[in-house]
Structure 1
Amino acid sequence: MAAVTRVLSGVQPSGEMHLGNYLGAFRSWVAEQDQADAFYCVVDLHALTVPQDPEALRRRTLEAVACLLAVGLDPARCTLFLQSQVPEHPRLAWLLECQAAFGELRRMTQFKDKVGRHGGEGAEAGVSVGLFTYPVLMAADILLYQADRVPVGDDQRQHLELARDLAERFNHRFGPTFTVPEAAVPPVGARVMDLQEPTRKMSKSAASPQGTVLVVDPPEVLRRKVRRAVTDSDGEVRYDPARKPGVSNLLELLAASAGGDPTTLAGQFSSYGALKEAVADALVALLEPIRDRYATVLADPGELERVLAKGAAQAREVASATYDLAAERVGLLPPSSVG
C-alpha cells in the first residue's frame, strides 16, 4: 500500500477572498482533503511584513478561517490552523535563516519589486526586515510538516525553490531531517483574470474593485460586475486569450464554474450580453451557497475558536517533532537537559 502524500497550503488574511482564490486554490484544497494528508493554514505572521491595524488583522484572520470552512474545508478531514498558534514556525525559521545566504534572499523577486516601488538610492532602508526574510519563514511553514507536495502558482515558484534548497542544504550538513518538497502545478484554467483589466490576475489590490468578484458578493453585486466586464468592439464570441482577453476570461469563468471547454462554450453564444448573463448565472449558483455558509460560520465565534484550537494541537504534534529533530541536529540542547 502506497504511503499517503502530505500536502500543505496557506493563505494570508489580507481581506475578503475573491473568485481567483476559490477557483485557483480553495476548490482544489477541498478535493485534496480526501486524496492526501492535508494541512492548511492562515499565515497571519506573514501578514505582519506590512503595517497592520491590530483589530483589523484579528477580524480578517477569523474571516479567512470562516471562508475556508465555507468553501468546504472540513476539520475532520484536514488540519486547519493559524500559523501564529504553532510556535515552531518562527523557531524553525531562525534555524533556517542561519543556513540561508544573504545573496539568495536579496534575489527574491518580490523583495526586489518592493524595493523598486520605494525607488531611489537607499530604497532598502524603507523595507522591513520581515519582508526580506519571510521567504525563509515560508520555507519553515513547508518543511515543518514534511510536506511532499506544495501547490504553487508562478509567483511562488521561487519561494518553493528556496525551501527545496534549504532542505537539501540542511540535510547535507546535518543529516537527513527534512522532506524535499515538490511543486504541485495548479490545474489549467485556474488563472482568473480581472474583469476590468483582463490581462492581469484578479486581485483585491486592483485599481478598480469592479474587476474583482468577492466570494461573499451578494448576487446583485456579482451580476453588476459581470455585466460591466470589459470585452472588445468586434462583437464575436470566440475563445482567443491573446486577441480577445476579456471575452476569453468570461468563457474561462463559465467553464470553471459550470463545466465545459471554453472553445466549445463560445459556440453557444451570439452576443456578449448573452455570454455575460450565463456567466453571472453560473457564478451566482456557485458562490451563493458559500456566501450563506460563510455568514453562518462567522456568526459562531466560539466554534471558530474550537476549530482553531483543535487544528493547532494537531499541527503541533507534527511540527514539534520536526523542530526537535532539527534543533538536535544543529546541536541545541533539549529543554530537559537545561537547569
Structure 2
Amino acid sequence: MSNFPQRVFSGVQSTGNLHLGNYLGAIVKFVELQKSFDCLYCVVDLHAITVPQDPIELRNNTREIAAAFLACGIDHKKNIVFNQSQVPEHAELAWVLNCVARIGWLNRMTQFKDKAGKDRENASVGLLDYPVLMAADILIYRATHVPVGDDQKQHLELARDIAQKFNNDFSASIERNGFGEAFFPLPEPLISGPATRVMSLRDGTKKMSKSDASDYSRINLSDDADAIATKVKKAKTDPEPLPSDEKGLEGRPEADNLIGIFAALSGRAKADVLGEFGGANFSTFKNALVDLSVAKLSPITAEMRRIKAEEGYIDGVLRDGSERARAIARENMNAVKDIVGFLR
C-alpha cells in the first residue's frame, strides 16, 4: 500500500430519503476523513438503476444527496463531490473487471441473495453485477481506503479479490508498462465510531432503512423538529430502566440502539452515556435524546433545504467535481487499456 498515494473513495446511492443511519454511519465519517485524506465522494446513480427508478425522482434524489454532503460539512473545493454517471470510466472499467471477476464470487454475495429474494431468475443482471461496478468505482481512482459499514465489508473484500486477480493476471504487462508489481492497490476498509450500524426505531434487530414501510422506523434528514421528537418518543423500548454499564445492554437491542445513537450524536462513548443515564427511565432519556437530535440535525435539515432550492448551484458543484474526477479516471483507464492490450 505504501507505493500508492493515500486516497479515500466512497459513494451513497441516489435513492432519496437519507436518514440518521446514513448520517451517522457514513456522512459524519466523510467529514472527518477529509481532514486526513484526499477524498472522492460520489452519488452513485448508476447503482441506483439496478432497481426501477422514476427518472424525475432520480435527478431530484441525486441533487438531494449532494445537498446533504455539502450541508453536513464536506468541502467540495478541497475534495471531489460528483455523480457517477458523469464519469463514464466507471462503467468502462466495470466491463474489464467483469472479465476478471468470477461468477461464483458474485453468487456468494449475501446482499444479492437478500435483494433478489426467491425470484432470482427475474433479478436484473445489474443487481447481480452491482459489486463489480462498486469495485470499479473504487479502483478507477486507485483508492487505498473505503469507509464502509458492516453490510458492505463483503463487497469491499470482493473489490480486493478483483484487484489482486487483475494484478496477477496482467503482472507481466503491468511491469512492462512501468507500474511495478501491482497496478491496483488492495483497498482497506475504514470502520469506526460507536454507531457504525444504526438500527430501526421500531425493531432494534433490523438496520434502519429507507425501504422500511413505517416512517417511524427512521429519522430522515429532511424531518423537522416536531417529526424528530415524535419519532424518538414513539421509538420501541422495553420496560426495564437503563442499565449502568454496557453489559446490561446485552439482549436489549432497542436500548442498545438508542444509547448508541445518543453516543454517536454527542461524540461520547456508550459507557459515558450510561454513566449519566443509568437507572433512569426511558422517558427521561428520550427527552434528552430529542433535544440532542434536534440540536444536531435541524441545522443540517435547514441547510439542505436551502442548497436544494438552488438546483443550478448543485448541478455546478457536481459538474465541476465530475470533471476533476474524470481527469483522474481517464488517466487510470488509459493505463488499464495499455495493460490489457487495447489499441488507443
Q: Say whether the 8 Å CA contact 2:193–2:264 is kept in structure 1.
A: no
Report the counterpart of residue 177 of structure 2 in structure 1: none
Q: Say whether the 8 Å CA contact 1:219–1:284 is kept in structure 2.
A: yes
Report the counterpart of residue 71 of structure 2 in structure 1: 70
Report the counterpart of residue 258 of structure 2 in structure 1: 250
Counterpart mapping for 1:161-240 below 5 A? 161-174=157-170, 175=174, 176-238=182-244, 239=246, 240=248
- Corresponding residue to 2:302 among 292, 297, 302: 292
Q: Say whether the 8 Å CA contact 1:237–1:272 is kept in structure 2.
A: no
Instruction: Report SS of the residue matched to 1:268.
Output: helix
| Structure 2: distance between partners of 1:7 and 1:210 | 33
* Cα displacement (A) at 1:268: 3.1
Instruction: Report SS of the residue matched to 2:81.
Output: strand
Unaligned runs of 5+ in 2: 175-181
Going from structure 1 to structure 2, the CA distance change for 1:44 and 1:216 (only over 3 Å counts) comes to same
| Structure 2: distance between partners of 1:326 and 1:83 | 19
Q: What's the TM-score once normalised by structure 2's chain length?
A: 0.91
| Structure 1: distance between partners of 2:52 and 2:72 | 29
* Cα displacement (A) at 1:249: 1.9
* Cα displacement (A) at 1:30: 0.6
Deviates more, 1:132-141 or 1:149-158: 149-158
Deviations 1:260-309 (A, max 9, x none): 33233234332211100000000000001101110110111111111011
Counterpart mapping for 1:118-137 below 5 A? 119=118, 123-137=119-133
Q: Say whether the 8 Å CA contact 1:145–1:322 is kept in structure 2.
A: yes
Instruction: Report SS of the residue matched to 2:276.
Output: coil
| Structure 2: distance between partners of 1:244 and 1:113 | 25
Deviations 1:27-66 (A, max 9, x none): 1101111210100000000011101111111111111111
2:333 is the alignment partner of 1:323? yes
Letter in 1 for 2:304: Y
* Cα displacement (A) at 1:91: 0.4
Q: Say whether the 8 Å CA contact 2:149–2:196 is kept in structure 1.
A: no
CA RMSD of aligned residues (A): 1.7
Going from structure 1 to structure 2, the CA distance change for 1:29 and 1:134 (only over 3 Å counts) comes to same
Unaligned runs of 5+ in 1: 335-339
Q: Say whether the 8 Å CA contact 2:150–2:196 is kept in structure 1.
A: no
| Structure 1: distance between partners of 2:152 and 2:48 | 16
Deviations 1:194-223 (A, max 9, x none): 111112221111232102001121000000
Letter in 1 for 2:92: R
Number of corresponding residues? 329
Structure 1 outlier segments of 4+, above 6 Å: none
Report the counterpart of residue 96 of structure 2 in structure 1: 95
Q: Say whether the 8 Å CA contact 1:34–1:77 is kept in structure 2.
A: no
Deviates more, 1:39-48 or 1:69-78: 69-78
Instruction: Report SS of the residue matched to 2:249.
Output: coil
